[in-house]
């Protein structure tokens, strides 16, 4: 234990690393390949629920090929926005896989946004229709922002139709992405979804149905960032139904009270498509739905990339363990 230290990376420290988004895409694609080749350990997330509208989840992941191990402790409190606090907060702990000693503790808000949007973007790379002219993003918060940033790297010519009940949020998103993407403010979700080749619903947790799968046109890819909010037939009328991890998806949706009656049609994972075990898009007209619930191995991989940059530049605070 003599000489053991831990690097603490605050939210500002994490931001200072300025992980290039293109690099994050490469990290996530490599991690999806590891998942597809069964080179990972990612037990289903467990959680506690201190309030009826809140959760705190523990997410552990191990990537033997990358020699990265860690755990994310993430809280989601939808009511926080009412008292000017972030809805999602968390920490990532990275451990030395040879000794188990902690190497780093970092704020997990930024990396969660990055990895979620990056998984959606890589999913889009493999499962979008041949031509993507319009992308609908419902929700102009942090997830909406990074989905625009990431998806614009995969589909640089696409127009992004943004829907949010807060006009100022859409304006801020447009200002933050003005040099990266073409942004159009659309008032109604239905209009944006009907016109879109890729649909991202990046709202906070919804208890009621806000989106109808009948609005989705032929050939479109649908990416719900949160499980709830869609009509029942998203799981029965879709031509192809996938998840980021089938067992975790089933475990999660049962544990949280499934809003959908039939999840038996899940064909496989995005990683299965990348590995060639599942065809993914069988026909150009297929309407494909992918539930990316969130895997700890993606957090560990992105967090490790952030740590590498922090170590190179001396960011953060070193504390004794």
Ordered per-residue pLDDT tens for the chain, 321 residues: 456 899 999 999 999 999 999 999 999 999 999 999 999 999 988 889 999 888 899 999 999 999 999 999 999 888 888 898 888 899 999 999 999 999 999 999 999 999 999 999 999 999 999 999 999 999 999 999 999 999 999 999 999 999 999 999 999 999 999 999 999 999 999 999 999 999 999 987 777 899 999 999 999 999 999 888 999 999 999 999 999 999 888 887 776 666 777 778 899 999 999 999 998 999 999 999 999 989 999 999 999 999 999 999 999 999 998
Q: Which residues of 186-223 are buried (b: 16+ CB within 10 A; e: fewer)?
A: beebbebbbbbbbbbbbbbebeeeebebebbeebbbbb
Cβ proximity of 268 and 274 under 8 Å: no
pTM of the predicted protein model: 0.94
CA distances to 110, 203, 299 from 143, rounded to whole Å, are 10, 8, 15
How many Cα neighbours within 13 Å face the side chain of 164?
26
In the chain, the N- to C-terminal Cα span, in Å, equals: 8
What are residue 268's DSSP bridge partners?
242
Spatial separation of the C-alpha atoms in residues 288 and 220, rounded to whole Å: 6
Tokens 């037990």 belong to residue: 43
Residue 126, classed as helix, strand or coil, is helix
Nearest CA to 70 among 127, 114, 7?
A: 7
Q: What is the pLDDT of residues 23-78, one digit of tens each?
A: 999 999 999 999 999 999 999 888 899 998 888 999 999 999 999 999 999 998 88
CA distances to 173, 180, 312 from 22, rounded to whole Å, are 19, 13, 19
């Amino acid at each position: 234990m003599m000489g053991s230290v831990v690097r603490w990376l605050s939210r500002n420290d994490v931001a200072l690393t300025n992980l290039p988004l293109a690099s994050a895409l490469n990290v996530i694609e490599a991690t999806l390949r590891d998942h597809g080749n069964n080179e990972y350990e990612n037990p289903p997330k467990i959680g506690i629920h201190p309030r009826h509208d809140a959760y705190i989840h523990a997410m552990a992941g191990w990537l033997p090929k990358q020699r990265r191990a860690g755990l994310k402790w993430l809280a989601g409190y939808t009511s926080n926005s009412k008292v000017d606090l972030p809805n999602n907060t968390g920490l990532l702990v990275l451990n030395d896989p040879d000794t188990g000693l902690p190497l780093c503790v970092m704020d997990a808000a930024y990396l969660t946004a990055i990895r979620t949007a990056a998984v959606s973007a890589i999913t889009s790379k493999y499962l979008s229709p041949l031509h993507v002219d319009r992308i609908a993003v419902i929700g102009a918060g942090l997830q909406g922002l990074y989905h625009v940033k990431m998806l614009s790297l995969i589909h640089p010519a696409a127009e992004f139709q943004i829907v949010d009940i807060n006009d100022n949020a859409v304006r801020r998103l447009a200002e933050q992405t003005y040099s990266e993407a073409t942004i159009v403010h659309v008032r109604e979700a239905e209009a944006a979804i009907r016109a879109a080749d890729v649909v991202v619903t990046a709202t906070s947790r919804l208890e009621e149905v806000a989106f109808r799968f009948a609005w989705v046109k032929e050939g479109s890819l649908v990416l719900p960032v949160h499980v709830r909010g869609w009509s029942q037939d998203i799981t029965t009328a879709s031509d192809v139904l996938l998840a980021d991890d089938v067992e975790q998806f089933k475990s999660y949706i049962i544990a949280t009270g499934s809003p959908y009656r039939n999840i038996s049609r899940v064909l496989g994972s995005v990683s299965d498509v990348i590995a060639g075990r599942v065809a993914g898009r069988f026909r150009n007209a297929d309407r494909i739905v992918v539930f990316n619930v969130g895997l700890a191995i993606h957090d560990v991989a992105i967090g490790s990339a952030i740590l590498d940059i922090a170590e190179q530049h001396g960011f953060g605070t070193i504390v004794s363990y």
